[in-house]
Amino acid sequence: PLSLPLTERSRSELESFRDTQQAAYDELVASGLKLDLTRGKPSAEQLDLADGLLALPTTTTTPDGVDSRNYGGLAGVTALRAMFAELLGLEVEQLSAQGTSSLTLMKDVLSYLWLKGGVDSERPWGQEEKVRFVCPVPGYDRHFTLLEWFGIEMVPVPMTDDGPDADAVAALVANDASIKGMWLVPTYANPTGQVTTQEVAERLASMPTAAPDFKIFWDNAYALHHLTPEETKSADIVSLAAVSGHPHRPVLFASTSKITYAGAGVAFVGGSRETVTWFHDNLGLGSIGPDKVNHLRHLEFFGTPQGVRDHMDKHRALLAPKFAEVERILTEQLGGLGIATWTHPRGGYFVSLDVLPGTASRVIELAKGAGVALTPAGSAFPYRDDPDNTNIRLAPSFPVLSEVTGAMEAVTTCVLLAAAEQLLA
């Protein structure tokens, strides 16, 4: 039967299965595909949704009477901060609106910690003998390459259905003062899609840490990026940290990269008031203020926090069918064969596919040979080291729906062929 797990088939059954997949693969190669599932970029259609921005702002004066064209206002336009503070569950003083990239803000915050230390640091991180970071895996590749650039050592911990494994994190940070922080994508994690529960967030906010200045880099890149009608709320990390006596532990990040334009949106950084003031004190050496015209344009475009939510519904209408197509093809082609599992995200930009251990790099190589670009093997792990060579991140947002279909059919053929090869080896 078609659905008998591959591992339970006889050698001759496997050989004929391999031959079928090889023939399908050869056909794919001959068909000359050129498709790309590598990066979580919005599609052109999604970007079109924000083209109203191009005619804005209609005024250059902010609601509080500031001329947006001039210097000043290091924290960003107050009304835009208030809009996103409401969406992110913060007070306006706990949020700063800045340039176009939250990743840049993460690099800034790390740089300030490195050179000057945080509000609760004994000395700059750069003067420590060693600095280590807890990294939930699989995770976001740019988080890991950024730490590598700083020479910060990465310690992986597993993700669970509820967020990072809080017991594992708590055990690591309790006695090792060199562990200064952790990454966390709390809502619709990249690439695995989990939402960190309030309970896990509470654990992370309250756990004793040997380092007095331990930081949770709370990268809420997908806070509002639902794929279902359910508006899952992010855990309330800043309040949780405050009530457990570690108010300066979280540093929040978010942006409109996947709300408006991915190269011309607005990025935000937040935390305790002291953390935000600390950020501005360090930023102020190199900036007299952010692009307030862009802030004002975004403010006018959305109008209200509900305007942002309504806009996200339009993204969902474009994205949900692509994710449904990925799910359909994975289920139809790989279901019941015992060689792959995958996530069923309710938001965010990715599907995380785990293929037969030992075959992820082969799948990616085969896909490349058939003209389908996948993220390099190991990308979602520190030092690009996927110990089981099993994980593949799929990003279906950018291609049009028919290309998602073609690319996924090609990917599943490669998964099947690689599995058969490995089981016969």
Chosen residue from 213, 219, 354, 386 binding ligand PMP by CB under 6 A: 219
- Which residues sit opposite 164 in a β-bridge? 159
Name which position in 21, 234, 255, 413 contacts ligand PMP (CB under 6 A).
255
CB of 221 vs ligand PMP, minimal distance in Å: 4
* Amino acid identity for residue 25 in this structure: Y
Nearer to ligand PMP, 205 or 262 (CB): 262
Residue 223 binds to ligand PMP (criterion: CB under 6 A): no
CB nearer ligand PMP, residue 136 or residue 247: 136
Cα–Cα dist 419/7, whole Å? 9
Closer residue to ligand PMP, CB minimum distance, 169 or 267: 267
Per CB under 6 A, 121 contacts ligand PMP: no
Task: Please classify residue 346 by burial: count the beta carbons closer than 10 Å to its beta carbon, then call 0-12 exposed, 13-18 middle and 19+ buried.
Answer: middle
Rg, Å, the chain Cα set? 23
Stretch that binds ligand PMP, among 79-87, 145-153, 254-262, 290-298 (CB under 6 A): 254-262
Put residue 271 in one of left, alpha, beta given phi > 0 → left and psi -120 to 50 → alpha: left
The least distance separating ligand PMP from the CB of residue 332, rounded to whole angstroms, comes to 28
Q: Does 185 bind ligand PMP (CB under 6 A)?
A: yes
- Give me the residues paired with residue 217 across strands: 183, 251
CA 48 to chain centre: 22
In the bound state with ligand PMP, the residue whose beta carbon lies nearer, of 94 and 379, is 379
Assess contact for 213 and 121: CB atoms under 8 A. Answer: yes
Give the Å distances, CA to CA, from 170 to 116, 206, 306, 333.
26, 10, 37, 40
Task: State in angstroms the smallest separation of the CB of 375 from ligand PMP.
Answer: 11
State the minimum distance, in angstroms, from the CB of residue 339 to ligand PMP.
28
Of 257, 343, 352, 390, the one binding ligand PMP (CB under 6 A) is 257
The residue count for binding ligand PMP (CB under 6 A) is 13
Nearer to ligand PMP, 25 or 301 (CB): 301
Q: Which is nearer to ligand PMP, 28 or 221 (CB)?
A: 221
CA distance linking residue 83 with residue 299, whole number of Å: 8
Q: How far is the CB of 174 from ligand PMP (least distance, A)?
A: 27
- Give the span between the Cα atoms of 49 and 98, in whole angstroms: 22
DSSP, residue by residue, 255-322: ESTTTS-SSSS-EEEE-SHHHHHHHHHHHTTT-S---HHHHHHHHHHH-SHHHHHHHHHHHHHHHHHH
The structure tokens 């591959």 sit at 6
* Site for ligand PMP, residues 83 to 112, rule: CB under 6 A: 101-103
Q: What sign for the dihedral angle of Cα 24, 29, 31, 33?
A: positive
Q: To the nearest whole angstrom, how small is the minimum distance from the Cβ of residue 317 to ligand PMP?
A: 21
Kindly state whether residue 252 participates in binding ligand PMP, applying the rule CB under 6 A.
no
Q: How far apart are CA 21 and CA 18, in angstroms?
A: 5
Residue 38 engages ligand PMP in binding (rule: CB under 6 A): no
If one asks whether residue 224 binds ligand PMP (CB under 6 A), the answer comes out as no
Applying CB under 6 A, which of residues 17, 21, 25, 40 lies at the interface with ligand PMP?
A: 40
What are the C-alpha distances in Å from 294 to residues 59, 277, 410?
Answer: 12, 22, 41
Site for ligand PMP, residues 382 to 421, rule: CB under 6 A: none
Q: Looking at beta carbons only, is 25 or 222 nearer to ligand PMP?
A: 222
Residues that bind ligand PMP (CB under 6 A): 40, 101-103, 140, 185, 190, 219, 221, 255, 257, 262, 267
